[in-house]
Structure 1
Amino acid sequence: MNTAPASYPIGTPGTPWGEAERNQWLSRQTRQRSYESEVVGKIERLRDRFDVEEYGRLEYGSESFPLLAIRTRDWRDGLPVVLVTGGVHGYETSGVHGALQFVDQHAADYAGRVNLLVAPCVSPWAYERIHRWNPQAVDPNRSFHDDSPAGESAALMRLVAPIRDRALLHIDLHETTDTDETEFRPALAARDGKPFEPGGIPDGFYLVDDSENPQPEFQQAVIAAVEQVTHIAPADGNGEIIGSPVVAPGVIQYPLKQLGLCASITNAPYKTTTEVYPDSPRATPEQCNTAQVAAVCAAIDYALAHR
Structure 2
Amino acid sequence: MAPASFERVGTPGRPWDAADIATWRSRQLKRRDYAVDVLTRVDALRERFDVEEYGAVTYDGVRYPFMAVRSRHWRDDRPVMVVTGGVHGYETSGVLGALQFLERYDDATGRVNLLVVPCVSPWAYERIHRWNPDAIDPNRHFRADSPAAESAALVRLLAPLGDRVRMHIDLHETTDSDETEFRPSLAARDGKPYEPGEIPDGFYLVDDTENLQPAFQHAVIEAVARVTHIAPADANGEIIGSPVIAPGVIAYPLKALGLCAGITPARYTTTTEVYPDSPRTTPEECNEAQVAAIHAAIDHALAHA
Q: TM-score, normalised by structure 2?
A: 0.97
In structure 2, distance between residues paired with 1:102 and 1:72: 13
Q: Secondary structure at the match of 1:118?
A: strand
Q: Is the 8 A contact 1:218 1:270 kept in 2?
A: yes
In structure 2, distance between residues paired with 1:111 and 1:278: 33
Q: Corresponding residue for 1:246?
A: 244
Q: Corresponding residue for 1:49?
A: 48
Gaps spanning 5+ residues in structure 1: where?
none
1:1-307 to 2 correspondence within 5 Å? Answer: 9-106=8-105, 108-109=106-107, 111-307=109-305
In structure 2, distance between residues paired with 1:63 and 1:94: 24
Q: Is the 8 A contact 1:134 1:140 kept in 2?
A: yes
Q: Is the 8 A contact 2:144 2:155 kept in 1?
A: no
In structure 1, distance between residues paired with 2:145 and 2:220: 33
Q: Is the 8 A contact 1:176 1:277 kept in 2?
A: yes
Q: Is the 8 A contact 2:71 2:107 kept in 1?
A: no
Q: Is the 8 A contact 2:173 2:274 kept in 1?
A: yes
Q: Secondary structure at the match of 2:120?
A: coil
Q: Is the 8 A contact 1:164 1:265 kept in 2?
A: no
Q: Give the partner amino acid of 2:15.
A: P
Deviation at 1:109, TM superposition (A): 4.6
Q: Give the partner amino acid of 1:70.
A: V
In structure 2, distance between residues paired with 1:187 and 1:110: 46
Deviation at 1:164, TM superposition (A): 2.7
Q: Secondary structure at the match of 1:213?
A: coil
Per-residue deviation, residues 77-136 of structure 1 (Å, max 9, x unmatched) = 110000000000001000001001111112x25641000000000000000000000000
Deviation at 1:61, TM superposition (A): 1.7
Tell me the percent identity. Answer: 69
Q: Is the 8 A contact 1:8 1:190 kept in 2?
A: no
> What RMSD, in angstroms, separates the aligned Cα atoms of the two structures?
1.1
In structure 1, distance between residues paired with 2:31 and 2:112: 36
Q: Is the 8 A contact 2:228 2:285 kept in 1?
A: yes
Q: Is the 8 A contact 2:144 2:156 kept in 1?
A: no
In structure 2, distance between residues paired with 1:208 and 1:11: 33
Q: Runs of 4 or more off by more than 3 Å in structure 1?
A: none
Q: Is the 8 A contact 2:90 2:129 kept in 1?
A: yes
In structure 1, distance between residues paired with 2:38 and 2:224: 24
Q: Secondary structure at the match of 1:46?
A: helix
Per-residue deviation, residues 161-213 of structure 1 (Å, max 9, x unmatched) = 11132100000000000000110001001101111110010010000000011
Q: TM-score, normalised by structure 1?
A: 0.96
Per-residue deviation, residues 221-264 of structure 1 (Å, max 9, x unmatched) = 10000000000000000000000000000000000011000001
In structure 1, distance between residues paired with 2:49 and 2:136: 32
Gaps spanning 5+ residues in structure 2: where?
none
